[in-house]
């Protein structure tokens, strides 16, 4: 596949969607074709699963069921969106990917790293991001930015849950330090994007574009 795969990770309200668009615009201005997607989501099936995961109220979703649903949505996104775009030479920018499952289900829901990794090996053993931007900020900083949506299953979680997720992300960054670039998302947006551009310049240069 001739395109590159970029993922954006982090807990709620760190600016993932904003910076997904920023990265796409930055690359487009340099003549690089991009495709933006998100997880869970990206296809009709995956978006329906997203709605179930975020807003299911009538029935409890267990951590393991949550993980199954996420990888069903992920497989659809990979097969229908991500791989075709990469094969066309586009740079795919994905708002969350499997690192989110490691952080949220592996650490937040306490299913463990190896449980999530088993699913990863089944669904996309040979596909990993070329670079991951982890937008990191303390939970207290995020909660001061805006009120979390109490109707969203994830945003309504406790501070303890979000701290486990954040710590999980930081452990992932240590484990995959060559791929995962930690960005201080507690700073103003201009500073965050300056940090991102530093890595994008290197990525573009190394790609030969």
145: CATH: 3.40.50.300
pLDDT at 157: 86
Among 85-89, 144-148, 193-197, 205-209, name the one with the lowest average pLDDT: 144-148
| 54-82 per-position pLDDT tens digit | 987 778 899 999 999 999 999 999 999 99
Q: By residue range, what is the domain housing residue 197? A: 5-207
* Average pLDDT value for residue range 107-134: 98
Q: How many domains does the chain have?
A: 1
This prediction has a pTM of 0.94
Is pLDDT above 70 for 146?
no
CA proximity to 11, closest of 175, 150, 186 = 186
- Residue 101: CB partners within 8 Å, gap ≥ 6? 67, 70, 71, 74, 116, 119, 120
Tokens of 61: 């979703």
Residue 195: per-residue pLDDT:
97
pLDDT value at residue 151: 66
- pLDDT of 198 higher than 80: yes
As a whole number of angstroms, the distance between CA 205 and CA 151 comes to: 43
Radius of gyration of the chain (CA): 16
Residue 109 pLDDT exceeds 70: yes
What whole-number distance in Å separates Cα of residue 32 and Cα of residue 15? 23
Sort 192 into a burial class: Cβ within 10 Å, 0-12 / 13-18 / 19+.
Answer: buried
């Amino acid at each position: 596949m001739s395109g590159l795969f970029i993922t954006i990770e982090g807990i709620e309200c760190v600016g993932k969607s904003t910076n997904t668009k920023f990265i796409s615009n930055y690359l487009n201005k340099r003549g690089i074709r991009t495709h933006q997607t998100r997880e869970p989501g990206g296809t009709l099936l995956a978006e329906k699963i997203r709605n179930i995961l975020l807003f299911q109220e009538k029935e409890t979703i267990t951590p393991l069921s949550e993980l199954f649903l996420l990888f069903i949505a992920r497989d659809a996104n990979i097969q229908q969106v991500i791989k075709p775009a990469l094969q066309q030479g586009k740079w795919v920018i994905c708002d969350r990917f499997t690192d989110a499952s490691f952080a949220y289900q592996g650490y937040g829901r306490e299913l463990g790293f190896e449980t999530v990794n088993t699913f990863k090996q089944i669904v996309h053993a040979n596909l990993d991001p070329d670079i991951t931007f982890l937008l990191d900020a303390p939970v207290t900083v995020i909660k001061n930015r805006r009120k979390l949506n109490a109707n969203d299953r994830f945003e309504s979680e406790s501070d303890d849950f979000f701290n486990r997720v954040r710590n999980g992300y930081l452990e992932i960054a240590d484990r995959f330090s060559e791929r995962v670039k930690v960005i201080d998302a507690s700073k103003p947006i201009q500073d965050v994007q300056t940090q991102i551009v530093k890595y994008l310049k290197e990525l573009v240069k190394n790609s030969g574009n």
